[in-house]
Amino acid sequence: MSKKVTGVGGIFFKCKDPKKMKDWYSNNLGLVTNEYGSTFESRNIDNPDEINYLQWSTFPDDTTYMEPSKATFMINYRVENLIELEKELHLAGVTICDEIAEYPYGKFLHILDPEGNKIELWEPVDSGFE
């Protein structure tokens, strides 16, 4: 079996004023922000020539993106071979919220942990994701 989670791909959280929150993090902690939040780059420990990305994003507190979870945050985990992982999760009885969605920057799937927290799984295409 290959690795399942290979790292954190994103940190997303709800707030009353996403722009004000991004500005605060920019002004006080030096995050370079844009309309989506802030992107952090790192090297893949197993393949140092490969650059990996982590997305930090604020969402309005009335977003439905994290539903059905009641939590105010969602973690995005980088994974390998999302199609096979989805099969394993299904067999294990894990709640799967949607179908795999594909974009130029990777594949995504949402699941729930045992306490109902929504988790975003991302099989990235790191080249060109900026």
Strands 5-15, 47-60: parallel, antiparallel or unpaired by DSSP?
Answer: parallel
Assigned domain for 93 exists: no
Assigned domain for 80 exists: no
**Residue 11 to residue 105: CA distance in whole angstroms:** 17
Give the global pTM.
Answer: 0.86
> Structurally, how many domains does the chain consist of?
1
Divide the 130 residues of the chain into consecutive groups of 10 and give the mean pLDDT of each group.
Answer: 80 96 92 92 86 92 95 94 94 96 95 95 73
Residue 130 pLDDT = 46
**Residue 116 to residue 19: CA distance in whole angstroms:** 28
Assigned domain for 112 exists: no
Residue 115 pLDDT = 92
Q: What range defines the domain where residue 19 resides?
A: 11-71
Residue 29 pLDDT = 86
Assigned domain for 15 exists: yes
- CB-hemisphere CA count at 13 Å for 41? 10
Assigned domain for 88 exists: no
Contact 127, 115 (CB under 8 A): no
Assigned domain for 128 exists: no
**Residue 8 to residue 77: CA distance in whole angstroms:** 4
Residue 129 pLDDT = 47
